[in-house]
Structure 1
């Protein structure tokens, strides 16, 4: 658990999602859960906290009502802590009608995970020793960001340490960096997740939803593609307008306008490879759900419920769909008393005492 109490504020959330503290996790659906766990732990230095599953309802419609997938869908799930601030929830689904190829970066539903590292050259050398594929030039033309594909085709980017003029959350400049990185983290030089990125159909509408409904803080105005020439886009992709938002104390979210050459205009389902959702840690799931119920275009997937068995028994949660095509979740975890904690020394990253508008 992060030792963040000295940076916390007792001030309640000023706007947006009631009782929100932080982004809890980034969720991604992968074709092979074992492969993804091995990559995020063995190559990027994450820690496996728990696995659960199968998650299914062979005779009912729970999977559709609560997760928005086919009633006969079946999922295996794992939670990997990546760096000092972030959790990745990984899904492997089998489902009727499943799309097994992920969306591209120009497509609606495209996404990538951006990491900050201590030294770009050292990190690249580390990744080249794995099955990770480098995209684009390997010289100075690459700019300040370098692009890679995981073995199953998920986009990652690497950036060097933060600058003084960065306005979003910068892992390199926080006093709460991991004091005891594991051997893989040391080899990679991982400082943390810099941001998650989603490609959306309507950048203005998506930005408004994040700011007005969720309480995100814009840290960069929507930019024209010509305004950035530092390797910000994956090689060979269309350069589109984008904006960066601060989502709570220790996370950033980038939104990118879908390109004119997009092959897909609809986001993937959670059960499709490349499906994804974004989860927020809140103190009161029911109060947050009441707020969301009043928002135009938001559909709650049932009512909040509490998990009663398994590695995270006690978790209270609820999924919801949004008018911008990104599925989301609100959760409250009784960290410190979860069943998985008796089986491993690994622990989920939590916000500790930080609140949404705190800026450590």
Structure 2
């Protein structure tokens, strides 16, 4: 098994009490309460890998405050190594207030800038982190400000130089970008450096601009990606490799909270890649074996299906036994 470093934001999700309360017109008269849960897309992925039994590390920065302490303990409780998680007194831990509608779909209000996750510096990536083989995973939320963009590029450079498999989940949150900023160029630059690219259907549409999906997906593969994944809620998961195209039908479950669905899916896939010692070089060979690839994607899809049936992020992530029960 090779190690996985998930880099980026660890934050606290403040989940609204109205998730389980009356959603009628009179609900506004009820005092709304928020309960803290550990969150942040790359932190969720790290926790998903750790709970499944993977060699999971989280790299990032949180505040030296009660919320930062909470996140450190929460990650460690999910068997995530926090050696690369730094704490600072220069900024506070980021918060995200989360509301759900009747179907479990979420909306976010972020209290992030300036926050601790944004001041992780390029020099804080240590060369020894990238000894041996591994997987480096990140999202677009570390591209939103010049400083954290530079840090992300430094981490990418170290990972690629070490021959690591690079995984990029676009996970675009437009409300995290400064007003008037177009995320297209920095996001596309990261797509071009990734071996594994995961997009939602909406994110693929964002990348298309004036081109059609087929052209854009071909460009992603031509740029060097060995595996491209396109998710679309309850619709089939699409996968593309340089030589194969296919789809996976998701498990039909009753959704309670979609917060960690994509992160559980990505964590499940990275766990399987790590468990089989899949490197950047061998990911290309995996793309030539649709049967094995589809088995791994079915496993990852079951992780996502389990997550949507439970509230919160870390609290919704499955263990191996949970995944096995969904696949029977």
Same topology, TM > 0.5 = no
TM-score, with length taken from structure 2: 0.32
